[in-house]
Chain A
Amino acid sequence: AQTVTQSQPEMSVQEAETVTLSCTYDTSENNYYLFWYKQPPSRQMILVIRQEAYKQQNATENRFSVNFQKAAKSFSLKISDSQLGDTAMYFCAFLNFGNEKLTFGTGTRLTIIP
């Protein structure tokens, strides 16, 4: 079974600063996906970024980028130039290739301070 660990329950950062959210996972699989989801107070889960395990290049989406270390089973999210709208719960999630069952971490509550 896979497990996903987010060791930072809460974080806060000043607007326009950079923040990094940590995630580690455990799996014996070789083909899988990793995701970061954002859940604002509206409760809608929104996909922030996705990484395929077979890709060595780290994924980037505008101000969001990841540091994927496959050997270390680490998948951190970096948010650059943070904005007030980034305030939300952030969940790291794991998905086996060919499966649709997402395994989530416990989440990090991120607050952007004006």
Chain B
Amino acid sequence: KAGVTQTPRYLIKTRGQQVTLSCSPISGHRSVSWYQQTPGQGLQFLFEYFSETQRNKGNFPGRFSGRQFSNSRSEMNVSTLELGDSALYLCASSTRSGTNTEAFFGQGTRLTVV
């Protein structure tokens, strides 16, 4: 069974640009969550999608958005990039099946904003 796949692995963007990150969950998993990891703020929850609907949202500005497709793949978009958006972005998938919940993480996308 393939794991969670995030693409691209590395990305360098310029301030003001926008970026789209992709996450393919484990087959059968319908929940996809996104996290931002930085040395200063640690791991912070961005949002969760389940069955193409955003179920939960963290405390991030509207420049951060996401979506989920019918095959459960998810994309995250950051517009008008700022230097502070440089981070490791992690995606996690799960079955969201109540008592058997377990999140499986991808290897992350390292975004550098210059």
- The chain A residues found within 8 Å of chain B, CB to CB, are 33, 37, 42-47, 50, 52, 91, 95, 97-107
Q: Which residue of B lies closest to A47 (CB)?
A: B102
B19 close to A (CB within 8 Å): no
Within 8 Å by CB of A101, from B33, B99, B107, lies: B33
A101 touches B102 (CB 8 A): no
> What residues on B are CB-neighbors of A104 within 8 Å?
35, 42-43
A-B contact count (CB 8 A): 55
Q: What are 20 A-B pairs at a CB distance below 8 A?
A: A33-B101, A43-B108, A43-B110, A45-B90, A45-B92, A46-B105, A91-B43, A95-B101, A95-B103, A97-B99, A100-B33, A100-B50, A100-B56, A101-B33, A101-B48, A101-B56, A102-B45, A103-B45, A104-B35, A104-B43
B55 close to A (CB within 8 Å): yes
A100 touches B101 (CB 8 A): yes
Binary A-proximity of B35-57 (CB < 8 A = 1, otherwise 0): 10000001101001010000110
Q: How far is the CB of A5 from chain B (nearest CB, A)?
A: 12
Closest 5 CB pairs of A and B: A45-B105, A104-B43, A100-B48, A101-B45, A44-B107
A42 touches B50 (CB 8 A): no
Q: Chain B's interface: helix, strand, loop or mixed, by majority? A: strand
Segment 57-114 of B: residues with Cβ below 8 Å from A: 58, 88, 90, 92, 94, 96, 98-99, 101-108, 110
How many interface residues does chain B have, given as a range? Answer: 20 to 34
Q: Which of B42, B90, B92 has the most C-beta atoms of chain A within 10 angstroms of its own C-beta?
A: B42
Within 8 Å by CB of B55, from A42, A43, A46, A100, lies: A100
Also in contact, A43 and B107, with CB within 8 A (given A95-B101, A99-B56): yes
> What residues on A are CB-neighbors of B42 within 8 Å?
104-107
A101 touches B58 (CB 8 A): yes
